[in-house]
Amino acid sequence: MARVTVKTLADELGISVSTVSNAYNRPDQLSARLRERVLSKADELGYAGPDAAARALRSGRAEAVGVLLTERLSYAFSDPYAIGFLTALSEVVEQHHVSIVLMPLSLDGDDLDLTAVRRANIDALTTLGLADNHPAIQVAKARGVRLVYSDVGEDPESTWVAIDDAGGGRQLGSHLRSLGHENVAVVVDTNRPAGSEARELTDDQIGFVDYASRFRGLRETLNRRLRLVSAGHNAIASGRSAGSWLLRRSDRPTAIVALSDVLALGVLDAARDLGLDVPRDLSVCGFDDIPAANPAGLTTVRQPIRDRGRRVAELLINPDAPDRQMLLPIELIIRSSTGPAL
């Protein structure tokens, strides 16, 4: 038995396919009684409404928005920062019957696989933690997918909701500087597989992550007192091993800035492992102000990530929303993990 389509229904009822279509999409275009007939016939024949793919093709709308998360998709769910973003985003999105499409950005060996981005059925796309010039974004743009960027852009026509990461870096840098720190290390997630060795990086090796501006802010304030070190990916264990690597060196830093709180928590673990007192022997700070930062006494830069999530969602859903470019302010939260340099 053949598949039930609008045509089946139309034939069965002796009406035209457009009327059937209207019964679903424009209830005001036909009498309530006829609509009732259509719907009940549909029920009877087991027709569950217009086919999603056909509808998407014809109407040009998928009723879904895409979110691209740093690194492999599976990592994102263990990142409180990503979770905060997704929660806020979904609160808005779900009021519009729109679905969220999460695309993996799998790394095949060393180069990443963009197939999922290329194939996804979405109307608009945003990202978390990816630099706006990331290849995946280029692909989506070429596909004609509407983009909500995550960083300040030049183009007055582009849509973005950014957080003032550079400002956060500067504030944190000033804080450390005023505490007398002259030897500061920055730990950054470089999207490497777990277990990668920590190593020193040059400024331009920071990669396609949007933390780049956090680092830039730090560099501006701390200047030559700074070195950059890679962690594997954004996980406590990575922060711990990078911290451990740094703290065992003879030129041990007096302060470590992790570019995310998750990494910072790992650095705190590393310090504890080595019997170092924080903040006496070492100052540690992070970025994000995730829920776990407070109990850990972590000095950090609070990101209005939920605000951003909400705002991004509005722009994903409605391309014509006002305020299509917005820079959200950060806030330096000083807790007990930073203190004067020895």
Partner DNA sequence: TTGTAGGCGTTATCAC
Partner DNA sequence: GTGATAACGCCTACAA
Q: Which is nearer to DNA, 9 or 166 (CB)?
A: 9
| Six token digits for residue 199 | 């190593």
Omega prior to 279 cis, within 30 of 0: yes
Q: Which is nearer to its own copies, 78 or 205 (CB)?
A: 78
- The residues in 50-89 that bind DNA, with binding defined as CB under 7 A, are 50-51, 54-55, 57-59
- Work out what residue 113 binds among its own copies, DNA, none; the CB cut-off runs from 5 to 8 Å by kind: its own copies
Least separation, in Å, of the C-beta of 221 and DNA? 49
User: How many Cα atoms within 13 Å fall on the side-chain side of residue 110?
Assistant: 0
127/138 Cα distance (integer angstroms)? 12
- Residue 334 interacting with its own copies (CB under 8 A): no
Of the candidate residues 12, 34, 63, 116, the single one contacting DNA (CB under 7 A)? 34
Pairing of β 283-288 and β 226-231: unpaired
Q: Which is nearer to its own copies, 74 or 223 (CB)?
A: 74
Torsion sign, CA atoms 258, 307, 101, 62: negative
- Work out what residue 188 binds among its own copies, DNA, none; the CB cut-off runs from 5 to 8 Å by kind: none
- The residues in 105-144 that bind its own copies, with binding defined as CB under 8 A, are 106, 113, 115-116, 118-122, 139, 142-144
Residue owning tokens 């917005």: 326
- Residue 94 interacting with its own copies (CB under 8 A): yes
- Residue 276 interacting with its own copies (CB under 8 A): no
170/166 Cα distance (integer angstroms)? 6
- Work out what residue 116 binds among its own copies, DNA, none; the CB cut-off runs from 5 to 8 Å by kind: its own copies
- Residue 122 interacting with DNA (CB under 7 A): no
- Residue 44 interacting with its own copies (CB under 8 A): no
Least separation, in Å, of the C-beta of 324 and DNA? 24
95/273 Cα distance (integer angstroms)? 47
| Six token digits for residue 144 | 């004609």
Of the candidate residues 56, 292, 328, 332, the single one contacting its own copies (CB under 8 A)? 56
- Residue 73 interacting with its own copies (CB under 8 A): yes
122/99 Cα distance (integer angstroms)? 9
CB 309 within 8 A of CB 303: no
The DSSP line for 126-146 is: EEESB-TT-HHHHHHHHHT-E
CB 267 within 8 A of CB 229: no
Positions that interact with its own copies (CB under 8 A): 3, 46-49, 51-57, 60, 62-64, 66, 72-74, 77-78, 83, 86-88, 90-91, 93-95, 97-104, 106, 113, 115-116, 118-122, 139, 142-144
